[in-house]
């Protein structure tokens, strides 16, 4: 069992320099599963080397794929898939393992995937995934915690999602591209990572219309072909570093490899706060802020609304704003656990129902805190970087699930952050 580690951060160091955003974790995970849809060799560029990716690749290897990072791409060979069931000990580490369901049922008309558990931010059921696959003709049974899916063939039909779920849309697209006839997914998710998967499937020969819209039309094909692709930049990681640049007046951060199109709403919100981006190169932007930050109201929503994954970072930033701000979390029922850690650092923040009320500015004081989930953990590191004295952040393995070279990237702009064994 890997020994637990913590980050030890010395706060209030003015940060200056460039940070390069990696490829998107949440585009890489479905793309890895999509390589099961046509046996062959795929080369995926800019896949981030993070724990969630390594876990999905271990599952791929269990199924019979050969996966290795070579030069600047990840090579996946799915010519010899010999297994159609995902092992519990690997799947239980990552909720995105549910994406193997759509890919395996789509390609092999059979799959066995453990029912994912909930996590810190909410129950996160998969009923939309199950309902959609059953509507396509799959027979789904739950046996000893595993979803057993079998079908003679998948037949296209119209599926209406109760909510524009990101991975449910991705699963149903992967099942639909090899189904017979047309599959229509109404109330589909529009996130850039969903569009990216759709574009990859089209490059593989799938016929898909409506990507980025609220209805996706798929005309099933008999077979697809392997492709090489480059993963889009990680908009949530980009947002993380934009907030870093605004955290302290003395910071001078340039964030590189940003796709501004994917960050419209968060950038508008930053501008409302008095924080702007100055283009210094094609996809590189310098974060500019005034002496004070304006308080704002944030409401999370499906894309293109304000992304739930960025709300913890904006909460940290809003502890430095002049006045009262509100963040309403509409996607997950339990995504304010980090608030209690921020309060330990002196933040004036209360949660009422689904809204965090933040009174600023307050100077944060370094304290021992713990990451409660991936994004909250990264946000608490940012809090430590703008806090007086020293902050120890525990449970950092949660952060390393989705942030490639996080400590190196922060140290690269002058942060004083060390990784230490967690004594206990």
Annotated binding site for UDP-N-acetyl-alpha-D-glucosamine: 95, 309, 331
Helix (H, G, I), strand (E, B) or coil at 175: helix
Buried/exposed 297-321: b ≥16 CB within 10 Å, e otherwise:
ebebebbeebbbbbbbbbbbbbbbb
- Minimum CB separation of residue 322 from ligand EPZ in Å reads 30
Q: Which of 10, 12, 75, 124 binds ligand EPZ (CB under 6 A)?
A: 124
Q: Is 331 in the site for ligand EPZ (CB under 6 A)?
A: yes
Among the listed ranges 12-20, 74-82, 163-171, 271-279, the one in contact with ligand EPZ (CB under 6 A) is 163-171
Output the known binding site for phosphoenolpyruvate. Answer: 25-26
Q: Which of 49, 68, 72, 127 binds ligand EPZ (CB under 6 A)?
A: 127
Q: Is 125 in the site for ligand EPZ (CB under 6 A)?
A: yes
Asked if 403 and 394 count as a contact pair (C-beta separation under 8 A), the reply is no
**Closer by beta carbon to ligand EPZ, 330 or else 362:** 330
Give the tokens for residue 284: 């590189």
**Closer by beta carbon to ligand EPZ, 197 or else 387:** 197
Among 132, 129, 157, 138, CA closest to 218 = 157
**Closer by beta carbon to ligand EPZ, 109 or else 375:** 375
Among 137, 169, 141, CA closest to 155 = 137
Among the listed ranges 144-152, 165-173, 242-250, 346-354, the one in contact with ligand EPZ (CB under 6 A) is 165-173
In the shown chain, the binding pattern of residues 81 to 110 toward ligand EPZ, with x for contact by CB under 6 A and - for none, equals --------------xx--------------
Among the listed ranges 133-141, 158-166, 320-328, 405-413, the one in contact with ligand EPZ (CB under 6 A) is 158-166
- Minimum CB separation of residue 71 from ligand EPZ in Å reads 26
Token pair 């929503």 is at which residue?
301
- Minimum CB separation of residue 262 from ligand EPZ in Å reads 12
**Closer by beta carbon to ligand EPZ, 221 or else 335:** 335
Asked if 11 and 384 count as a contact pair (C-beta separation under 8 A), the reply is yes
| Burial class for 170, CB neighbours closer than 10 Å (0-12, 13-18, 19+) | buried
Q: Which of 100, 332, 336, 403 binds ligand EPZ (CB under 6 A)?
A: 332
State the Cα angle at 324 between 330 and 311, rounded to 5°. 35
Among 60, 105, 58, 54, CA closest to 80 = 60
Q: Which of 9, 19, 21, 29 binds ligand EPZ (CB under 6 A)?
A: 29
Q: Is 167 in the site for ligand EPZ (CB under 6 A)?
A: yes
Q: Is 163 in the site for ligand EPZ (CB under 6 A)?
A: yes
Among the listed ranges 105-113, 122-130, 241-249, 358-366, the one in contact with ligand EPZ (CB under 6 A) is 122-130
Q: Is 126 in the site for ligand EPZ (CB under 6 A)?
A: yes
Token pair 């304000």 is at which residue?
306
Give the tokens for residue 136: 């396509």
Identify residues 174-203 at the interface with ligand EPZ (CB under 6 A): 193
Asked if 365 and 387 count as a contact pair (C-beta separation under 8 A), the reply is yes
Helices and strands: H and E segment counts in the chain? 13, 23
Q: Is 118 in the site for ligand EPZ (CB under 6 A)?
A: no
Q: Is 329 in the site for ligand EPZ (CB under 6 A)?
A: no
Identify residues 293-322 at the interface with ligand EPZ (CB under 6 A): 308-309
- Give me the DSSP letters along 59-120: HHHHHT-EEEEETTEEEEE-TT----B--HHHHTT-GGGGHHHHHHHHHHSEEEEEPP--BT
Catalytic residues: 119
Q: Which of 101, 168, 232, 385 binds ligand EPZ (CB under 6 A)?
A: 168
Element (H, E) at 338: helix 338-344
- Minimum CB separation of residue 408 from ligand EPZ in Å reads 20
**Closer by beta carbon to ligand EPZ, 247 or else 331:** 331
Helix (H, G, I), strand (E, B) or coil at 230: strand
- Give me the DSSP letters along 260-329: GGGGHHHHHHHHHTTEEEEEEETTEEEEEE-SS----EEEB-STTSB-GGGHHHHHHHHTTSSEEEEEE-
Residues in the chain: 424
Its sign, for the CA torsion 157, 152, 227, 172, is: positive
Q: Is 113 in the site for ligand EPZ (CB under 6 A)?
A: no
Q: Which of 165, 183, 188, 251 binds ligand EPZ (CB under 6 A)?
A: 165
Q: Which of 107, 166, 385, 415 binds ligand EPZ (CB under 6 A)?
A: 166
- Contact residues for ligand EPZ, defined by CB under 6 A: 26, 29, 95-96, 122, 124-129, 163, 165-168, 193, 308-309, 331-332, 374-375, 402
């Amino acid at each position: 069992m890997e020994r637990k580690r913590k980050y030890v951060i010395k706060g209030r160091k003015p940060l200056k320099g460039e940070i390069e955003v990696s490829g998107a974790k949440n585009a890489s995970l479905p793309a890895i599963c999509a390589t099961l849809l046509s046996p062959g060799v795929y080369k995926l560029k800019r896949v981030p080397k993070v724990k969630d990716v390594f876990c999905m690749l271990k599952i791929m290897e269990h199924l019979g794929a050969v996966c290795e990072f070579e030069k600047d791409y990840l090579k996946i060979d799915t010519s010899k898939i010999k297994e159609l069931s995902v092992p519990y000990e690997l799947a239980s580490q990552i909720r995105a393992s549910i994406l193997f369901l759509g890919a395996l049922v789509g390609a092999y008309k059979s799959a066995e995937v453990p029912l994912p558990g909930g996590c810190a931010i909410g129950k996160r059921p998969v009923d939309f995934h199950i309902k959609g696959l059953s509507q396509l003709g799959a027979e789904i049974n739950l046996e000893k915690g595993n979803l057993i899916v079998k079908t003679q063939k998948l037949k296209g039909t119209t599926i209406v999602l109760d909510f524009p779920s990101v991975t449910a849309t991705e699963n149903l697209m992967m099942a639909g591209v090899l189904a017979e006839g047309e599959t229509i997914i109404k109330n589909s998710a529009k996130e850039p990572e969903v569009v990216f998967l759709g574009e990859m499937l089209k490059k593989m020969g799938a016929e898909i219309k409506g990507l980025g819209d609220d209805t996706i039309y798929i005309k099933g094909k008999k077979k697809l072909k392997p492709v090489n692709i480059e993963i889009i930049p990680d908009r949530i990681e980009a947002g993380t570093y934009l907030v870093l640049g605004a955290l302290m007046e003395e910071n001078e951060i340039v964030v590189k490899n940003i796709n501004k199109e994917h960050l419209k709403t968060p950038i508008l919100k930053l501008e409302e706060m008095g924080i702007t981006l100055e283009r210094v190169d094609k996809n590189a932007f310098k974060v500019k802020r005034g002496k004070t930050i304006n308080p704002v109201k944030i409401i999370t929503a499906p894309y293109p609304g304000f992304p739930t994954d960025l709300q913890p970072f904006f909460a940290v930033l809003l502890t430095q704003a002049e006045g009262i701000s509100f963040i309403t979390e509409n996607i997950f029922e339990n995504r304010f656990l980090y608030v209690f850690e921020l309060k330990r650092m002196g933040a004036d923040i209360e949660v009422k129902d689904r809204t965090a009320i933040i009174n600023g500015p307050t100077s944060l004081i370094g304290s021992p805190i713990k990451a409660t989930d991936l994004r909250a953990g990264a946000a608490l590191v940012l809090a430590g970087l703008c806090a007086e004295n020293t902050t120890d952040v525990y449970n950092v393995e949660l952060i390393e699930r989705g942030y490639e070279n996080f400590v190196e990237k922060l140290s690269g702009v002058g942060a004083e952050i060390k990784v230490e064994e967690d004594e206990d």
